[in-house]
Amino acid sequence: MKRFRIAALIFIAICVFFPLNNCLASPVQDQLQDTITKVIEILKNPEFKGEAAAHKRRETLRKAIDERFSFEKMSQLCLGKHWKDRSDAEKKEFIELFGKLLEETYISKIEGYTNEKVEYLKEFVTDKKAQVNTRIVTEKIEIPIDYRLYQEK
Per-residue pLDDT of the chain (153 residues), as tens digits, is 655 555 555 555 555 555 444 433 348 899 899 999 999 999 999 999 999 999 999 999 989 988 887 889 989 999 999 999 999 999 999 999 998 898 888 887 788 888 889 999 999 999 889 999 999 898 888 989 898 888 876
Q: Is residue 98 part of a domain?
A: yes
Three-state SS at 125: strand
Where does residue 17 rank: exposed (0-12), middle (13-18), buried (19+ CB within 10 A)?
Answer: buried
Output the pTM of the full model: 0.71
Domain span including residue 30: 2-113
Name the domain count of the chain: 1
CA distance 44 to 113: 9
Q: At what angle do helices 2-16 and 28-44 cross, to 10 degrees?
A: 130
